[in-house]
Amino acid sequence: MTTPRLVTVDGEQLHVVVRGSTGRVVVLCSGLAGKWSDWDDVTDLLATDHIVVRFDRPGLGSSPAPKSDYKPTVRAEAHRIAAVLDAVGRTAAVTLVGHSLGGFYAEGFARLYPDRTAALLLLDSSVAEPAGPRLLPKRVQTATHTVLNGLSNYLGAVVRENNAYSDLGEEVLDLRRHAPIQAVSVAVAVATGRYRTPWANKWLDQQRVLAEELGADLTIITPSGHRVMVDRPDETARLIRELSR
């Protein structure tokens, strides 16, 4: 059974969908511009023996626009995941799956809420790198923030996260230094196409480094584009099921 609802977390309304009634709880975290329905095919495969939780971050999918002063941070998103689980009555340790930018948030949750994390899968995850020098002076950043408030809910939410990307990566690196992952099964999966371009080879190398840093197994999913859960729901569900055992 699929149960969609709106829950309120720190004053923000979030669209949450829970499907399944038995088994390990799996939380699916979308990437930049992603929405809950991107995981439909994966959920179809998992919901027979898992409880699958999906939600839209503010302004994305079916969630209303965020507050005007909203700025994404890894810690805030980890807290949001925990609050969503509280709202749907799921307090046991969960399997976290983070796609693309959602990998930052899923990893953040695993580090900040170790007692609530059983396993972590980073699915073609964004790669955290030290941020370069700030190119925009404060007054330009303020003006940009004002413009964002005038954009549509969806576009504004996407641009906010995109603009925060470097800061989010720095935050993940900081958490890796100060909040180690504790006794959690971790896996990294990377998508590749039929042909290996120089960019694709670089991406594969970055994912190998990520897996080594986390002490995780690396799985190569091919052929697949970046939206692995859409292109290869079968392989995505298989990895989640193996990790959730």
Tally of domains within the chain = 1
Strands of the sheet with 94-99, listed across from one edge? 2-9, 12-19, 50-55, 24-29, 94-99, 117-123, 185-191, 217-221
What distance in Å separates the CA atoms of residue 186 and residue 217, rounded to the nearest whole number? 7
CATH of the domain at 42: 3.40.50.1820
31 contacts 49 by C-beta, under 8 angstroms: no
What distance in Å separates the CA atoms of residue 229 and residue 225, rounded to the nearest whole number? 9
What distance in Å separates the CA atoms of residue 2 and residue 21, rounded to the nearest whole number? 10
Structural domain boundaries, residue 210: 2-243
In tens digits, what is the pLDDT along the chain, a chain of 245 residues?
677 899 999 889 999 999 999 999 999 999 999 999 999 999 999 999 999 999 999 999 999 988 777 789 999 999 999 999 999 999 999 999 999 999 999 999 999 999 999 999 999 999 998 875 544 444 434 444 444 444 567 888 899 999 999 999 999 999 999 999 987 899 999 999 988 889 899 999 999 999 999 999 999 999 999 999 999 999 999 999 999 98
Q: Output the pLDDT for position 1.
A: 60
Considering the entire predicted model, what is its pTM? 0.90
Provide the residue type at 242 as one letter: E
